[in-house]
Chains A and B, each alone.
Chain A
């Protein structure tokens, strides 16, 4: 069964304290792995797509990496405005369905 598990459920950081969020997945043929950011009361906002193991993508203080079993979202020197829920999702080869993890709530304190 296709599945996405994110950890930790919640993460509290001090401003400038770097850390990583984990996304473990099982899927029969990966078409793409997606990271989204969701602010309270809003819809998810796209961050990255990763297609194959070894691929990395960066955007400001965020860097996403992918292996055959998991993906990491590294946050370098976070700021309070990085506080949000980060969602990981996978799409199967040849399919339209995207499976989402439950998310990691990130809190960054000034």
Chain B
């Protein structure tokens, strides 16, 4: 039982390049999330997927797209990376109902030059 896994762990991009961050969970959770974490600002929600087949914008969606590939996998795509997207990205999951806690992946550290 690996929990939430993310790939890659580190990535350096040049401005304008594209990439996809991968996330998978093996806990049979319905809901999945993408956050970014910047110093002094806490975790901010980019996109979420309440259940398989649905996605919704969070607080800071501009410059990102997501795909809920199946119940296990939720990917985040940067179409044209900008230096402002330099951050640590976390994927999380939790059960759909109740006040359940979220389970987080180890993060992807992205630098855009």
Contacts and interface: CB of A to CB of B under 8 A. Distances in A.
Given A43-B107, A44-B90, A96-B31, A87 B99 contact: no
Contacts of A96: 31, 48, 50, 56
**Contact-residue bracket for chain B:** 20 to 34
Given A44-B104, A49-B101, A96-B50, A102 B42 contact: yes
Contact of B107 (A34, A42, A45, A91): A42
Contacts of A32: 99
A98 B59 CA distance: 11
A49 B104 contact: no
A101 B104 contact: no
Interface string A54-98: 000000000000000000000000000000000101010000111
Interface core residue of B43, B92, B102 (most chain A CB under 10 Å): B43
A98 B102 contact: yes
A51 B100 CA distance: 10
Interface of A: 4, 9, 31-32, 34, 36, 41-46, 49, 51, 87, 89, 91, 96-98, 100-103
Interface of B: 4, 31, 33, 35, 40-45, 48, 50, 56, 58-59, 90, 92, 99-107
